[in-house]
Amino acid sequence: MKEFKVKIEVKLKPVVLDPQGKTVLQALNNLGYAEVGDARIGKLIELTVSDGSAENVRERVNEMCMKLLSNPVIENFDINIEEQNA
């Protein structure tokens, strides 16, 4: 059994309006950061998972994202898996 650190980025789909991101964008522009053209806000979820292989982890975490961690109607997700050294 190996241990993995899994990072899941959950982001609103591009077609979904992100009022929070818009507000942050405006605040950044107001602070003088005129170079910022867009801001989108998502979530970062970190899991510690014990499993036999990274492929298994990916399959199971993908399932978790579809069932609970993301809402496929409005969100996309990226999964990043890192094996921990014993």
Partner 1 sequence: MLKFGIVVFPGSNCDHDCYHTIKHVLGHDARFVWHEETDLSEYDCIIIPGGFSYGDYLRTGSIASLSPIMQSVSDYACAGGPVIGICNGFQVLVEAGLLPGSLIKNASLKFICKWVYLRLENSDTLFTSNMNIGDVLRIPVAHGEGNYFCTAEDLKELERNSQIIFRYSTPLGEVIDEANPNGSLDNIAGISNKEGNVLGMMPHPERCSEGLMGGEDGRAIFESLISNLHQKGRAIREA
For the CB of residue 72, give the shortest distance to partner 1 in the complex, in Å: 9
Between 36 and 74, whose beta carbon lies closer to partner 1?
74
Residues that bind partner 1 (CB under 8 A): 12, 16-17, 19-20, 23, 67-69, 71, 73-74
Between 67 and 86, whose beta carbon lies closer to partner 1?
67
List the one residue out of 39, 40, 38 whose CA is nearest residue 76: 40
Computed from CA positions of residues 62, 67, 69, 74, in that sequence, does the dihedral angle turn out positive or negative? positive
Computed from CA positions of residues 17, 18, 22, 28, in that sequence, does the dihedral angle turn out positive or negative? negative
Between 34 and 67, whose beta carbon lies closer to partner 1?
67
